[in-house]
Amino acid sequence: MIAETILRDVFGYSAFRGAQAEIVAHVSGGGDALVLMPTGGGKSLCYQVPAIARHRAGRGVAVVVSPLIALMHDQVGALEVAGVHAAFLNSTLSLAETQQIEREMMSGRLVLLYVAPERLTTPRMLAQLDALNARGLLSLFAIDEAHCVSQWGHDFRVDYLALNVLHERYPQVPRIALTATADALTRSDVIERLALGEARIFVSSFDRPNIRFAVVEKSEARVQLLRFIREEHEGDAGIVYCQSRRKVEETAGWLAEHGITALPYHAGLEADMRRVNQDRFLREESIVMVATIAFGMGIDKPDVRFVAHLDLPKNIEAYYQETGRAGRDGLPADAWMAYGLADVVNQRRMIDESPAAEEFKRGQRGKLDALLALAEAHDCRRVRLLAYFGEASAACAEHQNACDNCLHPPATWDATEAARMALSGVYRFHQQRGQRFGAVHLIDVLRGKRSEKVEQYGHHALSTFGIGGELGEAQWRAVLRQLIALGYLRTEGEYNTLELTSTAREVLRGEVRLLLREPSAAAGRKRSKKVATPRGKGKAPPVPLSAAGLARFAALKAWRAEIAREHNLPAYIVFNDATLAEMAQAAPDSLAALARINGVGAKKLEAYGRQILRLLDNR
């Protein structure tokens, strides 16, 4: 009952979702837990509610290990607005501010303290925790983004390895480790490295039913991206991921030239520029952030309507984590990716050229293969994505946000003979004094194009010259991309020359039948009428509203913007769009009625209730 009261009075929600209630009860009672829950699934409440409950029982402060300064700021701001005394310790504070927070911590008045892993394990911090623990004022440890502790995870951070000190030094203090993405190998590593062998493991469904997954063949990727934004998400907030810093800046500039409010973000930018750009993204609407993976972990902005990838991520965990930053509010969102032959080549090369141990490389190749299978899939992408995390699912063909393959079943063709031609071409190169060539030259030979290079090496005399002339260049690129993705070809060296793998023999012998996707006539084709309505145009509210309701919703958003500016907070921390829409729809006329709206806790009701009622009464 205490947890439900906290949920209602502090956070304004009437009921827990999924496994939240069980997790909260377990951790509040002093148990350790490992929680796997998708982005937007409510992980924060799983440690915030127990922290508040244990503080009220005289247990003192909860320490939250968080990897990002921006996340600390937003979490603390949201808690303080909700009436929970919270703080962070990081490099943005002055000495006087740091000392004041330390006094609050040592007094036991502080409920939650957010710290980075590298600060937590300093001698000064450990000495303070020792003193708190000796007085019984250390209530729990929450380790957010726990996959960072694993070398198999996609965001491995060395500082997380030192967190095993928590179990060794404070064995009686409960610990909860949380992550949105961890396959079986990463999960096992997290348990071992954090000494969570006795912890209860809670695994929620990895499905994000509000996200639509789509992969398009890369052909003028920036043009495809611009078309996608204009047709599907004009006026929406979104994130575009690119592999290199240079591509980030070029893409952001190009989108800005074409009328999209786009900002760059990568580790090479000046710290002030990164901070300003991130603050604008969090606090303003309609900003598109173009970024490397340096941006995103812990971003709590709920109304990101799309995440786009212009380059292939490293693995499914990274892809799932990054796409999960869309639609945290539960409303429809898109995960869109442009993917081509160069992506496959580049990712395989980065693994091969890595200085890591061979065992680690083998693991990374396996993870990449799983992502390539997802990208090349003819069937339901959601089924494949969930299966990777060990979860069974029915195809999403009738799903409101069905994937592109379920909405538009791709045409396939029997590419067995074409594959044999391509592999034979590579074999003939190698026969000729061990020569190796890349995809462009192979396609020229197969199509019978007498280029200068073909003439130079005498490849017009090979038996494979011109045998594939009936296929176009785009179709041959698709064949080679899929042969590499399926592991029958690999690329070697600085020039990405093609090499047969040991499994190519079974294709050359005709022992394997290859059914491949046909290249689309227009990569990034328009969607059917069923889903053609742009999601962003008009900034529609989350629920259907009457004309009067729309006027109330607009007035509430304008009021929220003023409050957010006044307190220097992102607008969604004051109230999210779903809460404002419910207010606009219900038009409560009393504080009691307003308190029944989801997201209106006691502190916010006290602070803003009468203002909201006056505003609604004037509409």
Task: Kindly report the pTM of this predicted structure.
Answer: 0.81
Per-residue confidence band for 534, with pLDDT thresholds at 50, 70 and 90: very low
pLDDT score of 528? 39
Average pLDDT over residues 495-522: 83
Report whether pLDDT(157) > 90.
Answer: no
**For residue 524, is it within any domain?**
no
User: Residues with Cβ < 8 Å from 461, sequence gap 6 or more?
Assistant: none
Looking at the fold, whether 99 and 12 belong to one and the same domain comes out as: yes
Per-residue pLDDT reduced to its tens digit, 335-361: 999 998 888 888 888 888 888 888 888
pLDDT score of 162? 87
Looking at the fold, whether 237 and 347 belong to one and the same domain comes out as: yes
CB of 116 closer than 8 Å to CB of 91: no
**For residue 526, is it within any domain?**
no
pLDDT score of 568? 83
Per-residue confidence band for 537, with pLDDT thresholds at 50, 70 and 90: very low
> Domain total for the chain?
4
Residue 37: Cβ within 10 Å count: 23
Per-residue pLDDT reduced to its tens digit, 89-99: 988 889 999 99
User: Residue 86's beta-bridge partner residues?
Assistant: 112
User: Residues with Cβ < 8 Å from 469, sequence gap 6 or more?
Assistant: 446, 447, 448
**Spatial separation of the C-alpha atoms in residues 100 and 96, rounded to whole Å:** 6
Q: Following DSSP, what letter does each residue of 111-157 receive, concatenated?
A: SEEEE-HHHHTSHHHHHHHHHHHHTT-EEEEEESSGGGG-TTSTT--
Q: What are phi and psi of 291, to 5 degrees?
A: -150, 160
Looking at the fold, whether 506 and 606 belong to one and the same domain comes out as: no
Per-residue confidence band for 296, with pLDDT thresholds at 50, 70 and 90: low
Extract the tokens encoding 354: 């890595």
Looking at the fold, whether 436 and 377 belong to one and the same domain comes out as: no
Looking at the fold, whether 348 and 384 belong to one and the same domain comes out as: yes
Of the candidates 190, 182, 115, 194, the residue with the CA atom closest to the CA atom of residue 324: 182
Of the candidates 425, 557, 548, the residue with the CA atom closest to the CA atom of residue 497: 425
Per-residue confidence band for 524, with pLDDT thresholds at 50, 70 and 90: very low
CB of 145 closer than 8 Å to CB of 179: yes
User: Residues with Cβ < 8 Å from 403, sequence gap 6 or more?
Assistant: 212, 213, 214, 380, 381, 382, 396
Looking at the fold, whether 361 and 449 belong to one and the same domain comes out as: no
Report whether pLDDT(194) > 80.
Answer: yes
Looking at the fold, whether 168 and 20 belong to one and the same domain comes out as: yes
Q: What is the mean pLDDT of the chain?
A: 88
**For residue 22, is it within any domain?**
yes
Report whether pLDDT(153) > 60.
Answer: no
Extract the tokens encoding 540: 């529609």
User: Residue 263's beta-bridge partner residues?
Assistant: 289
User: Residues with Cβ < 8 Å from 585, sequence gap 6 or more?
Assistant: 543, 545, 549
pLDDT score of 238? 96
- According to DSSP, the β-strands at 33-36 and 200-203 are parallel
pLDDT score of 522? 44
CATH of the domain at 428: 1.10.10.10
**Spatial separation of the C-alpha atoms in residues 324 and 296, rounded to whole Å:** 10
Average pLDDT over residues 452-480: 91
Residue 507: Cβ within 10 Å count: 23
Report whether pLDDT(140) > 80.
Answer: yes
Per-residue pLDDT reduced to its tens digit, 199-212: 999 998 888 889 99
Looking at the fold, whether 128 and 27 belong to one and the same domain comes out as: yes
**Spatial separation of the C-alpha atoms in residues 25 and 29, rounded to whole Å:** 6
Report whether pLDDT(117) > 60.
Answer: yes
Looking at the fold, whether 389 and 437 belong to one and the same domain comes out as: no
Extract the tokens encoding 527: 């969607």
User: What proportion of the chain, given as a percentage, has pLDDT over 90?
Assistant: 55
Q: Whole domain around residue 142: which residue ranges?
A: 2-203
**For residue 539, is it within any domain?**
no
**For residue 525, is it within any domain?**
no
User: What proportion of the chain, given as a percentage, has pLDDT over 70?
Assistant: 95
Q: Of 410, 433, 468, which residue is a domain's last?
A: 410
Report whether pLDDT(16) > 80.
Answer: yes
- Sign of the dihedral through C-alpha 304, 305, 310, 312: positive
pLDDT score of 526? 41
Average pLDDT over residues 178-194: 86
CB of 583 closer than 8 Å to CB of 552: yes
Average pLDDT over residues 529-555: 69
- The single-letter DSSP state of residue 371 is H
**For residue 220, is it within any domain?**
yes
Residue 404: Cβ within 10 Å count: 21
Looking at the fold, whether 241 and 273 belong to one and the same domain comes out as: yes
**For residue 15, is it within any domain?**
yes
Looking at the fold, whether 392 and 289 belong to one and the same domain comes out as: yes
Report whether pLDDT(297) > 70.
Answer: no
Per-residue pLDDT reduced to its tens digit, 224-283: 999 999 999 999 999 999 999 999 999 999 999 999 999 999 989 998 898 899 889 988
Per-residue confidence band for 154, with pLDDT thresholds at 50, 70 and 90: low
The secondary structure element, H or E, covering residue 348 is helix 341-352
**Spatial separation of the C-alpha atoms in residues 515 and 541, rounded to whole Å:** 44
Per-residue pLDDT reduced to its tens digit, 430-445: 887 778 898 999 999 9
Of the candidates 13, 12, 10, the residue with the CA atom closest to the CA atom of residue 84: 10
Of the candidates 141, 215, 212, the residue with the CA atom closest to the CA atom of residue 175: 141
Looking at the fold, whether 443 and 497 belong to one and the same domain comes out as: yes
Q: Of 160, 179, 203, which residue is a domain's last?
A: 203
The owner of tokens 């990208």 is 375
CATH of the domain at 588: 1.10.150.80
Min mean pLDDT across 34-43, 116-125, 556-565 is at 34-43
Q: Of 163, 178, 203, which residue is a domain's last?
A: 203
Highest average pLDDT, of 420-424, 487-491, 526-530, comes from 420-424
**For residue 293, is it within any domain?**
yes
**Spatial separation of the C-alpha atoms in residues 155 and 399, rounded to whole Å:** 31
Average pLDDT over residues 530-538: 43
**Spatial separation of the C-alpha atoms in residues 325 and 288, rounded to whole Å:** 13
CATH of the domain at 383: 3.40.50.300
User: Residue 214's beta-bridge partner residues?
Assistant: 336
